[in-house]
Amino acid sequence: MIIQYIQLVIYTIILVIITNYFRFKGRTTFNKCFLVVSSLVLVEIEGLLFDFLNTKWILAVFIGVSVICFHILGGLVSAAVSGLILFVQIGESDLTVLFSYLSFAGLVYLLASLVSNTQIESDHWLNKLTENSKQLNVFKEVSFSMQQTLNLQKLLKTILTSVTAGYGLGFNRAIILLIDENGSKLSGIMGTGPMTAEEGYKTWNRITKSKYNLMDLIENKESEKSIDLLLNERVMRLEIPLDEPNFLYRTLESETPLHIKGIDENDRALQLFAQQFNMSELAVFPLISQGTKVGILIVDNPVNKKPITATAIESVIPLANQAAIAIQHTRLYSKIEDMALKDGLTALFNQRAFQTVLEQHWTHRKQSPLSTILIDIDYFKHFNDTNGHLLGNQVLIQLADVIKSSIDNQDLAFRFGGEEFVVLLPSTSKEAAVQVAERIRMNVENTSFPCGEKQPAGRLTISLGVASTEEMQSSIAFDLVDIADRALYRAKEAGKNKVVC
């Protein structure tokens, strides 16, 4: 008897090995069938070794395996097969045994269902916990990155990368539009993601090979200027008015995300996005900070065509809220910075800004010449005494416009103080600077200013002093201004309305 049990164990082990081997060769249904057949073979081996002494009990194993593999149908069929085996091989046809098998199959099915449901629920909560943990990690990294900058462009790249990166929220593409100062329209600012599936897979392969994490991707977006060029060309051409009931307007008014699964032919803005970006399903998020509408975030999946779920939308909401606050703070900081660096009357940069820019360009003076033009209005005290300071302010504003229109894009104009202005000309020789100064002088002379005819020369004029680093020995940046100031003094002494260098 002991030898027979040893043989049964050996045969069982062999059967397990064979079953486990074939488990990796076929599909799920084949594997289940093979396992059921193997349990039936075990029943026959037991019958041959023990003359069907324990067959009734071994058949219970066959029934249990069948129920686990094929649920209630497997239980019914296996119970019937078990009854047939008992009748054919033992000659037993007791209905009580058949009923016991059916009851056992039902019990196994209930237990299997209970275990399966418990496992499903456990997996659900584990997945939810994992996803929440991932989102918290994303928010932590993004929040840290946002706190490191007050530069709007870098901030937007951080937001977009966190939404689209695999280590982030995992959408294929994201676009940000911001509301203008008047609140009348949305302008496309930046986007990230592919325009085609082929482009998307190429990017994913590159990221996978490089093994980037979220912070790596954010830094990579900063350094690689050529990324998403085609997408951003189209995004930056977007201007969507908010005086018509399009899908963007509805999102901002409702202050809740909008999930769009089909393109409404009556919504011109939505049709534009569908045509320009090949969008079919998208989620739209309002960017609102403390009741102030900042802009819109749009996400979609043009590459893997993954449906946008309610859970995916919920995962973006905290990030969208955080992004709105950060964008609003950055804009406010930019306005405050502009106020600190710009003259409130003429909107030109002020002397503080001039000193900063001068120092920046001063370091390159040996590679290319740096020139400056100092400008002063002739007889301006006489103008104010005759016409009043309010009209004098109008003249300053108009003169600033004339100066700006007279210089090239690379040149910078500043209000130096009072009635004095200064123009900084990078990579410009003294000779070229004199030509620019003469152009400014002539344009001012030919411009009609209010009450200009009351000036001693019969019109408003200016005197200009020019200086350049070409002939300078000094290593002090502001000495360039002193040289221009002395030239300006000589222009005044020479009769005004002149350019002197």
- Comparing 460 with 181, the larger pLDDT belongs to 460
> Domain ranges in the chain?
2-119, 150-338, 351-500
- Is 44 assigned a catalytic role? no
Contacts of 322 (CB under 8 A, 6+ apart): 139, 142, 143, 146
When pLDDT is cut at 50, 70 and 90, the band that residue 279 belongs to is very high
Q: Do the bridges between strand 185-192 and strand 173-179 make them parallel or antiparallel, or are there none, so unpaired? A: antiparallel
Lowest mean pLDDT among 40-44, 72-76, 229-233, 400-404: 40-44
Alpha carbon distance 341, 345 (integer Å): 12
Q: Determine what percent of the chain is predicted with pLDDT higher than 90.
A: 40
The predicted pLDDT at position 123 comes to 82
- Classify residue 94 as left (phi > 0), alpha (psi -120 to 50) or beta: beta
**What's the pLDDT tens digit per position in 381-430?**
999 999 999 999 999 999 999 999 999 888 999 999 899 999 999 999 99
Higher pLDDT pick, 457 / 10: 457
d(CA 418, CA 388): 15
Distances (CA, A) of 272 to 112, 242, 282: 53, 15, 13
Q: Please provide the average confidence, as pLDDT, over all residues in the chain.
A: 84
pLDDT digits (tens, 9 = 90+) for 325-376: 888 888 877 777 777 788 889 989 999 889 988 998 898 888 889 999 999 9
C-alpha distances (whole Å) from 183 to each of 22, 242, 303 are: 67, 8, 33
Nearest to 175 by CA among 187, 159, 188, 191: 191
Catalytic entry in 46, 419, 453, 493? 419
Architecture of domain 351-500: 2-Layer Sandwich (3.30)
Pick the closest to residue 131 from 316, 323, 260 (CA basis): 316
Positive/negative CA dihedral, 448, 399, 389, 482: negative
Inform me whether the pLDDT recorded for 238 exceeds 80: yes
Q: Which residues of 289-304 are buried (b: 16+ CB within 10 A; e: fewer)?
A: beeebbbbbbbbbbbe
Any idea which of 48-52, 93-97, 432-436 has the lowest mean pLDDT? 48-52
Return the CATH architecture of domain 150-338. Answer: 2-Layer Sandwich (3.30)
**pTM (2 d.p.):** 0.55
Segment 171-214, tens digit of pLDDT: 999 999 999 988 889 999 999 888 877 776 676 666 555 555 55
